[in-house]
Structure 1
Amino acid sequence: MNFQKIKESDEVELPLLLKNRLISLVAYIQQKIEASEFDALSLATIAKDNRMTIPQLMEFGFTKSNLVCHAVVARNEVMIQTLMTQDLTHLGTTLIEQVEAYLLQMYQYDLRQLPFKTAIQTYAWTWSVVDEERFTNQAMKLMTPIYIALHANGFDRIDARCQTIWALYLRGLRTAAVGKGSAKDCLAAVRVSLNLMIESKK
């Protein structure tokens, strides 16, 4: 993560007509994923259902994996708009309390999206470099309040610390995916490691 290079937009440059078509495509993909019907869809079916041809989909790089990335980016954007602008000092009296409270909010949001997030995992392994960069940029946005809080408290190597906290966050999320845990269970699963990360400024 390089927080100095966060891109304001996570969208790709597309012609206006195609952007409008992509909005309906993303809604269609999200619906099919939530209904557990996406895996069985062929690219031909996706094209037909959206009044397109396979060559039209492929001309703009719309593979199944790429369409899943578009759907993930759209979902994440709602979370970003809800959480990214927060001042963590309002969430607790100590830094660890602030970070834990923020991560708990992230878990609460993600758990509402868990069936969707679980269903897309296999596709995330086959994303292109561009798709992966879009997802990483969103992760940096979500970690920005923590970055600011660490900086305000005099920590060094903040990029590396935020990478570690993001990895811990994802590890905690598996508590819900695998063990049907709650948001508090997810946080509890990584609390010791999280505290070790924030205890020392060196």
Structure 2
Amino acid sequence: MTKALEKLEEKAKKAEKQIEDIVKVAHRLFEKNGYERVGMREISSAAGKSPMQLYRLGLDKQDLLAEVILRVNAKQIKNIKPFIPNQKLTTPQFIEAYLLDLYKQDIAIKGIRQEGAAFGWRWSGKYESLIIGQLMQILKPISDALLHEHYDDIEARCFGIWSLYYVGYRAAVMNDANAQGCLDLIKPSLKLLLRK
């Protein structure tokens, strides 16, 4: 029984490693050529696999894009600085600084963010749930700041702030705005959302 379990674990680890390698290849190709211009044959060829091997691993093109976005988000989450009550910054100032930092990070990976935004509607509900979970982690410092200052309707405010964030980010995608330009675009609406 133990040897059988060991073989299963070894097989699972090998599959995980293969998936990780394939996701890295897909990330590079999607970012360079765009989601629509990359096919499974191109991904499998660049990964040194056959398309059938990718499908046996349970991967299709939509799942690969979702896997790429999950990893991009995980990297961003890893770098998140939590909200710590501070006398130097008000809650609105903290939120502005936090969003400015997110803009800088997202502008640095604008190519893959564009692909995720344009084609994310194609991935399955499983991936949608995982990505929404990551969004909650990204919003946590904002939520914590609002909670600390006893704002009401925190969840609605967080979703409003996130919607505004994407309005600002559109300026980077469409007009090549920098992070400060994105933030400046949403500041008037952000002030309204942050009224007590």
TM-score bracket, shorter-length normalisation: 0.7 to 0.9
Point out the structure with the larger helix share. Answer: 2
- Tell me the equivalent position of 1:33: 30
- Tell me the equivalent position of 1:66: 63
| Residue type at the aligned position of 1:183 | A
Q: Tell me the CA shift for residue 37 of structure 1.
A: 5.9
SS of the residue corresponding to residue 80 of structure 1 reads helix
Q: CA RMSD in A?
A: 2.1
My pick for the range that moved more, 47-56 or 181-190, is: 47-56
- CA deviations 1:113-134 (Å, max 9, x no partner) are 1122123333212111111111
Distance across 1 between alignment mates of 2:112 and 2:121: 16
Distance across 2 between alignment mates of 1:17 and 1:157: 46
1:178 aligns with 2:171: no
Which of 123, 130, 133 aligns to 2:129? It is 133
Higher relative contact order (CA 8 A, sep 6+): 1
- Tell me the equivalent position of 1:18: 15
| Residue type at the aligned position of 2:21 | S
Question: Following superposition, which runs of at least 4 residues in structure 1 exceed 4 angstroms of deviation?
Answer: none
Distance across 1 between alignment mates of 2:89 and 2:128: 36
Report how many residues are paired.
186
1:160 aligns with 2:156: yes
- CA deviations 1:129-177 (Å, max 9, x no partner) are 1111111111111110011111111122211111111111111100111
Distance across 2 between alignment mates of 1:104 and 1:55: 43
My pick for the range that moved more, 159-168 or 58-67, is: 58-67
Given that 2:143 and 2:158 are in contact with CA atoms closer than 8 Å, whether structure 1 keeps it comes out as yes
Q: What TM-score, normalized by structure 1, do the two folds share?
A: 0.83
Distance across 2 between alignment mates of 1:185 and 1:100: 12
Distance across 2 between alignment mates of 1:37 and 1:140: 27
Distance across 2 between alignment mates of 1:194 and 1:76: 23
Distance across 2 between alignment mates of 1:182 and 1:46: 32
Q: Which runs of 5+ in 1 are unaligned?
A: 1-13
Q: Which runs of 5+ in 2 are unaligned?
A: 1-10
| Residue type at the aligned position of 2:151 | F
Which of 94, 111, 119 aligns to 2:90? It is 94
- Tell me the equivalent position of 1:114: 110
Which of 134, 138, 156 aligns to 1:142? It is 138
Q: What TM-score, normalized by structure 2, do the two folds share?
A: 0.86
| Residue type at the aligned position of 2:112 | F
- Tell me the equivalent position of 2:54: 57
Distance across 1 between alignment mates of 2:84 and 2:98: 7
